[in-house]
């Protein structure tokens, strides 16, 4: 069914995972997903984190810290 594959990918083991990319410059929240109750729901390659957050500073996140992660994020979205 095409409508199902619009929202889910099938892994090589036959498991269906949401077509979603979770990105956060600060790793704490996404690490909770990696280790928590929903760790089996998402593919580990779709959980992308940086090493530090932007401290609620848009310019810092956009021009410096976030700039380091953008290529990896775009590859995962494709």
Residue ranges of E strands in 1-78: 8-10, 16-18, 22-24, 47-49
Can you tell me the distance from the alpha carbon of 27 to that of 51, in angstroms, rounded to the nearest whole number?
6
Q: Please give the tally of structural domains in the chain.
A: 1
Give me the domain span that covers residue 12.
2-77
Query: For the chain, what is the radius of gyration of the CA atoms?
Result: 14
pTM of the predicted protein model: 0.72
Can you tell me the distance from the alpha carbon of 46 to that of 18, in angstroms, rounded to the nearest whole number?
9
Express each pLDDT in 9-59 by its tens digit. 888 888 888 888 999 888 898 999 999 998 888 888 889 988 888 888 888
H/E segment holding residue 7:
helix 2-7
């Amino acid at each position: 069914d095409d409508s199902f594959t619009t929202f889910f990918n099938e892994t090589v083991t036959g498991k269906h995972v949401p077509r979603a990319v979770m990105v956060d410059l600060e790793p704490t929240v996404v690490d909770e997903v990696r280790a928590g109750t929903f760790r089996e729901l998402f593919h580990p390659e779709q959980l992308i984190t940086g090493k530090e957050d932007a401290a609620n500073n848009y310019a810092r996140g956009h021009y410096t810290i976030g700039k380091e992660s953008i290529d990896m994020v775009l590859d995962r979205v494709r």
